[in-house]
Structure 1
Amino acid sequence: MMTAHDPVRGKWAVSGNKAKVWVDASTLAIGIAVEVNGAIVEDASWLRPDDCHHINLAELDAVIIGLNVALSWQLRDIEVMTVYRWLEEDLSGKSSLKTKAASERLIRRRIATVMALVEEYDLKLTVTLVKSAENRADDLTRIP
């Protein structure tokens, strides 16, 4: 029954292993969009719990989820598109994470998780900073 009404008409294969993973976080939600060859192949958003965590924690959570979704597509050359600067600095070795936020240790742990994914899966990871208006995951974290 499901295959008869499948608009894709069978298996949908993504060519190549290069992707852009767009991530965003707001006070309401986190969102990710995985783009391959100019097309969004998967996107998702999750409501954030009302836990008062720093927005940078939520942004890093989105990065980790986005990387895991990209890995499920067998993608290994990943460009993370984010408004978040600390991840870029850590990848380049210029890490200057100094914050008065009580969640600094949690931020460091999430960055370590990203770095562990890079090492374990031999990812080629780059980070591109984008403005919120240009972020393809931005709409996923907003009320329409």
Structure 2
Amino acid sequence: MATENPHRGYRRIAGELACAGRPVGASTVWAILKRAGIDPAPRLSGPTWAQFPRSQASGILAVDSFHVDTVLLRRLHCMVVMEISTRRVHLLGVTAHPTGSWAVQQARELAMALERLRRPSQVSDPGTEGQCAVNASSTGSIRPECP
């Protein structure tokens, strides 16, 4: 396995063997590879798993919805978005009766606000350039699509 794919490390080989029904410890695989003269897999040039979220944080948004009960016993539903890099929370909208179209509209407004932030010097015209469309699938997931 190690000679077929030199990028597989001893832990991955041990995992492959365990999936095949032959559980072997990672240290045993390491010892066998060392005895055979096969060097460990080279370290990949990309970031580690611990570094990856930090390097991508500027482009990640977290969206959540929750409800608040008021003093007058009314229930209001809120939708918020958090910028992961700065940990700023922005209120997208509040309504007493949330619907799918309301959620799509909030996502549309978020996409347009993000587009304005990305290109602050340009004025977005009503044409197709600079506009974002929001697709709501049957599963309820909302995904902004920008050209």
TM-score (norm 2): 0.27
Higher-Rg structure is: 2
Q: Answer 1 or 2: higher relative contact order, Cα 8 Å, separation at least 6.
A: 1
